[in-house]
């Protein structure tokens, strides 16, 4: 039996150990970070060590807590101009002291994490969850610039920023949350003081060793917590809100496929495509048709309708993740596709004929007739010639139409359930007509049960007949019994 000598095995162990030594630190940086514990500071939108000063009308609130505190200095200059939406003040009291102690714990926790070293300027960057330390000891966001924090779909992704000295954001700068990033997972450990620029938009919890100043009209979604210094406000909005998860958006691709096998020559870009929610075009819609991979739309979860403007000479159909009418429902994070196919119709092909019959069934007490209903025939959402029209019984209303797809519908009419039948129509009223076709669609309206004051119920049923016979028999029996009784006593 062959054995492995000890002298050959030792170098192997050394090589493995060397790999672990090199890889382990890198792994430590990329591991998911736990959140920073806030303790009792979580209910404070503002907390300081040496008082608070406000000028202008400032709003402070948030469902997570809109408390304001300072310890040991209880001063709050300009409190009368502050709206405390759902918080209270703790100025120099035991609650503020406890929160200050928890702030020290949070500060030390954020400061102790192993960071990735990056540059001073954060504006124009997109950063993923992690711990970041400035190579110069300070972080800045230039005027008008945006820092994007991308959680990549993980609502628990944590961002920690560490500075040795200052944090400065300039006028109009923005911290933007993307892909499920949340303000309650963003932490700024500041070695001295933080300054938020005029009309800037800031996100996260600031743990400043010394002081924090928010310039005129700066907006904060988070907390301003200063350990040893003061907090200065000037017409600001500070929201310490619920840490809600923002649903990841969905992506919808709309592909235009054109088939020219009957002599026509249109291309995808000749068609105008719509994506609508509740009848209103979404951002980027309408757009010219585009072949694969199509036009991409970033949308919130919900229902949408894909359609196109009418284009003569082509029959249209829908396929992919939506239904035959172009309706599609998107869930958070979905990546779905709808393909609109246009197949050309030979020039000169005979038109189709569509008959629309209105059938009204009144077996529950209602009295509407066919002409009381208004019927539509539409192509790409637009009424064809002769539509709308009053409903008509057999043989119905006739429409002469080019081959293609159409939707038969009617205006709402209370008290009746509607259904579609005949001619290959689907349950939503959509029908595709071939050249020279002669097709009939029937819209049936069946009344729903109602009780009308002063009107007797419908007696034309077996149960009412049985009830009537029973009543007659009871009456005859009663008369016979009465007659017999009289003879007995006579």
Place of tokens 């988070």: 222
Q: Report the candidate in 133, 141, 202, 127 with the shortest Cα–Cα distance to residue 169.
A: 141
Output the pLDDT for position 157: 94
Check whether 463 has a pLDDT greater than 60.
Answer: no
- For residues 244 and 396, the model is more confident at 396
Query: What are the pLDDT digits (tens) for 98-133?
Result: 999 999 999 999 999 999 999 999 999 999 999 999
Hey, what domains does the chain have and what are their CATH numbers? Answer: 39-239 (no CATH), 250-344 (2.60.40), 352-447 (2.60.40)
227-272 residue pLDDT tens: 999 999 999 999 998 776 656 789 999 999 999 998 899 999 999 9
- pLDDT for 141 equals 98
SS (HEC) of 395-451: CCEEEEECCEEEEEEECCCCCEEEEEECCCCCCCCEEEECCCCEEEEEEEEEECCCC
pLDDT digits (tens, 9 = 90+) for 312-352: 888 899 999 999 889 999 998 899 999 999 998 887 777 88
pLDDT band with cut points at 50, 70 and 90 for residue 375: very high
Model confidence at 168: pLDDT above 60: yes
- Model confidence at 405: pLDDT above 90: no
Residue range 451-471: mean pLDDT, rounded: 54
d(CA 103, CA 207): 7
Alpha-carbon torsion 292, 293, 297, 300, what sign? positive
Residue 240's φ and ψ, nearest 5 degrees, are: -100, 80
Asked if the model's pLDDT at residue 425 lies above 70, the reply is yes
Within 31-157, residue ranges assigned H as helices are 94-111
CA distance 36 to 336: 37
């Amino acid at each position: 039996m062959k054995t492995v000598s000890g002298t050959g095995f030792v170098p192997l162990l050394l090589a493995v150990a060397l790999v672990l030594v090199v890889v382990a630190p890198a792994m430590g940086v990329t591991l998911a970070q736990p959140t920073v514990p806030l303790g009792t500071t979580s209910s404070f939108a503002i907390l300081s060590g040496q008082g608070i000063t406000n000028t202008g009308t400032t709003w402070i609130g948030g469902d997570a807590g809109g408390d304001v505190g300072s310890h040991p200095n209880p001063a709050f200059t300009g409190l009368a101009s502050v709206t405390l939406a759902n918080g209270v003040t703790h100025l120099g009291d035991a609650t503020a002291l406890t929160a200050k102690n928890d702030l020290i714990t949070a500060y030390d926790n954020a400061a102790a994490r192993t960071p990735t070293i990056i540059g001073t300027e954060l504006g124009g960057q997109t950063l993923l969850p992690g711990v970041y330390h400035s190579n110069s000891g300070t972080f800045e966001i230039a005027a008008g610039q945006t820092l994007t924090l991308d959680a990549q779909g993980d609502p628990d992704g944590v961002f920690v920023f560490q500075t040795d000295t200052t944090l400065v954001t300039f006028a109009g700068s923005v911290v933007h949350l993307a892909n499920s990033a949340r303000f309650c997972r963003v932490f700024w450990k500041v070695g001295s003081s933080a300054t938020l620029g005029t009309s800037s938009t800031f996100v996260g919890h600031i743990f400043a060793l010394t002081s924090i100043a928010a310039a005129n009209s700066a907006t904060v979604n988070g907390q301003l917590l200063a350990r040893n210094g003061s907090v200065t406000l000037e017409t600001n909005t500070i929201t310490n809100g619920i840490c809600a998860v923002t649903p990841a958006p969905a992506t919808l691709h709309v592909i235009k496929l054109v088939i020219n096998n009957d002599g026509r020559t249109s291309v995808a870009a000749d068609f105008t495509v719509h994506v609508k929610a509740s009848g209103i075009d979404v951002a980027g819609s309408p757009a010219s048709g585009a072949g694969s991979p199509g036009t991409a739309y970033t949308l919130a979860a919900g229902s949408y309708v894909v359609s196109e403007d009418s284009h003569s000479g082509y029959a249209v159909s829908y396929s992919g993740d939506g239904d035959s009418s172009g309706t599609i429902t998107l869930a958070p994070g979905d990546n779905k596709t709808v393909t609109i196919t246009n197949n050309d119709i030979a020039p000169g092909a005979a038109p189709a004929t569509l008959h629309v019959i209105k059938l009204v069934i009144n077996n529950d007490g209602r009295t509407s007739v066919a002409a009381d209903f208004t019927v539509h025939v539409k192509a790409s959402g637009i009424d064809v010639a002769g539509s709308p029209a009053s409903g008509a019984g057999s043989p119905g209303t006739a429409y002469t139409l080019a081959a293609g797809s159409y939707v038969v519908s009617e205006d709402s009419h209370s008290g009746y359930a509607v259904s579609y039948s005949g001619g290959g129509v689907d349950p939503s009223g959509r029908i595709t007509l071939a050249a020279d076709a002669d097709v009939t669609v029937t819209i049936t309206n069946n009344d729903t049960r109602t009780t009308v004051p002063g009107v007797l119920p419908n007696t034309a049923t077996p149960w009412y007949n049985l009830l009537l016979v029973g009543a007659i028999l009871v009456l005859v029996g009663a008369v016979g019994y009465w007659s017999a009784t009289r003879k007995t006593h006579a």
